[in-house]
Amino acid sequence: MSTTYNEAAPAAPINSTRRVATASIVGTAIEFYDFYIYATAAALVIGPVFFPQTSGTAQMLAAFLTFGIAFIARPLGSALFGHFGDRIGRKSTLVASLLLMGVCTTLIGLLPGYDTIGAWAPILLCVLRFGQGLGLGGEWGGAALLATENAPKGKRAWFGMFPQLGPSIGFLAANGLFLILAMNLSDEQFRSWGWRIPFLLSAALVMVGLYARLKLHETPVFANAVAKEKPVKVPLVELFSQYWMPVLLGAAAMVVCYALFYITTAFSLSYGVTTLGYSRETFLALLCFAVLFMGAATPLAAWASDRYGRKPVLITGAVLAILSGFTMEPLLTHGSTWAVALFLCLELFLMGVTFAPMGALLPELFPTRVRYTGASAAYNLGGIVGASAAPFFATKLVAMGGLSYVGGYVSAAALLSLIAVLCLKETRYNDLNKVE
C-alpha cells in the first residue's frame, strides 16, 4: 500500500527554480570536472608519471586500471552517502560529497610521481582515486533528487535535466583547460607540471559549488516525509530486500550512457593520439566540439520524456546506439578529420539522449524513504559494467580484432540497456510522495 503525506504537515520552505537549477548544475559540473580531468590525464600522462618502469602499452593499461578504481568505489559511495541522504537529508549529504571529491582531486594534483617517491606514488594515486569515486558515488543521486523533488507537476524530467547538464559543462571545462595547456606548453612541461594545474584548480571550483548548495533549503518531499514518520534505520538493507529489481534494471539501463561516453572520450582520445596520429590539442579540440552535441541533446531528450514518457526516448536512444557501434571502425579509420568528428558528435549526441531521462527515471523507481540510496546505487552500479573497465577492455579489444570489436562492445552495452528499459514500467506518472 502506498502512503501519501499528511496534508496538515508543516509546509517546507520552497527553493526557487533558479536556485535549484544553479545548485544542481554547478555541483555536478564541478564533480564531473574533477572526474573528467582524471579521465583525460589517464589517456595522456598518468602512465608515464606513475608507471614509468613499464612499456608504453602497459603504462596505458595501468592508467586505465586506476581510472576504473573510482567506479568500483562509486557503489560504496552511493551506499554511504545514500544512507545519510535518506536519514538526515539531501542538502547536508550533497555538501559532504562535494568536499570529499574536491579534496581528493586537489591532492592528486600535489602527488609526487614515481621518480620522486617510488612505489608510493601509484599506491597513493589509487587511494585518492578511490576517494574520488566515493564522493561522486554520493553526488549524482543527491543532485537528481534535489532537482526532481523540487519539480512542479509535469516537469520532472525537465528539472531532472539540470544535473544532467553538469557533465557536459564539466567535460567542456576539463578538456578545454587541457587544450589550452597543450597549446601553450611543451610536452616536457606538460608531463612535468602542466597536467597538475586542472587538478589544483578544483579547490577554487569547490568553493563555488559549496556556496551554491549551502544556500538551499531541504527538498519539500524529504521534509514532509520526515514530518510524517521516522527515516529508515538502514536504507541499504530495505532497498535490497524490497527494491532489488528496480536497482538492477536501473543499473542496466544506465550502462549504455557510460559505454558511449567513456569509449568516445577516454579510449578514443588515447587511440586518436597514439594510433591515428592526431596531436593532443587537435583531438581535444574535436572532443570539445563534439560535447556540444551532448549538451544540445540533453534538454531535447528531457522535454521529449516529459511529453512522451521516459521509455520511448530511452528505447529510441538505445536502438540508435546499437547501430552506432557499427560506425566506429569505418569512421575512425576513414583517414579524414571530418569522419572522426562525425563519430564523436554522433556518440556524444546519443549519450545526451540516453542520459537526460535518467535524471527523472531513477528517482521515480524508488519511494522517498530509500530514494537517495536507490537512485545512487542504480546509477553507480551501471558504471561498473559500462565504464569502469571500458577503456581498458577497449584497448585489449582493439589489439585482438581492431576497432570493430570495440564498436561491438558499444552495441552490446546498448542492447543490455534496451532490454532493461523494455522490462521497466513507464514512470512519468509515479508519485514521488510515496513513502513505501
| C-alpha cell at position 61 | 593499461
CA dist 241 and 333 (Å) reads: 49
* Residue 85: pLDDT band with limits 50, 70, 90: confident
Q: Are 137 and 78 in contact, with CB atoms under 8 Å apart?
A: yes
Q: Say what the pLDDT of residue 128 is.
A: 92
Residue pLDDT, tens place only, 295-320: 999 999 999 999 999 999 999 999 99
Q: Could you tell me what percent of the chain has a pLDDT over 90?
A: 32
Q: Say what the pLDDT of residue 203 is.
A: 83
Length of the chain: 436
CA dist 332 and 343 (Å) reads: 7
* Residue 4: pLDDT band with limits 50, 70, 90: very low
Q: Could you tell me what percent of the chain has a pLDDT over 70?
A: 94
Enumerate residues 6+ apart whose C-beta is below 8 A from 426: 309, 310, 311
pTM as predicted: 0.82
Instruction: Indicate if the pLDDT at residue 107 is higher than 90.
Output: yes
Instruction: Indicate if the pLDDT at residue 7 is higher than 70.
Output: no
Q: Say what the pLDDT of residue 49 is.
A: 86
CA dist 64 and 129 (Å) reads: 12
Could you tell me which CATH number the domain at 17-216+233-423 has? Answer: 1.20.1250.20
Query: Average pLDDT, whole number, for the chain?
Result: 85
CA dist 404 and 113 (Å) reads: 36
Closest CA to 162 of 16, 344, 366: 16
CA angle 232, 426, 301 (to 5 degrees): 105
CA dist 88 and 127 (Å) reads: 28
Residue pLDDT, tens place only, 9-46: 445 556 777 778 888 888 788 877 877 888 778 877 88
- To the nearest 10 degrees (0 to 180), the angle between helices 17-44 and 120-148 is 160
Cβ neighbours around 191 below 10 Å, total: 15
Q: Say what the pLDDT of residue 13 is.
A: 58
Ordered by start, the domain boundaries in the chain are 17-216+233-423
| C-alpha cell at position 224 | 514532509
Instruction: Indicate if the pLDDT at residue 2 is higher than 70.
Output: no
User: Burial letters for 242-270: b for 16+ Cβ neighbours within 10 Å, e otherwise?
Assistant: ebeebbbbbbbbbbbbbbbbbbbbbbbbb
Instruction: Indicate if the pLDDT at residue 158 is higher than 90.
Output: yes
Q: Say what the pLDDT of residue 397 is.
A: 82
CA dist 69 and 42 (Å) reads: 12
Q: Say what the pLDDT of residue 3 is.
A: 39
Maximum average pLDDT range among 3-12, 57-66, 259-268, 293-302: 293-302
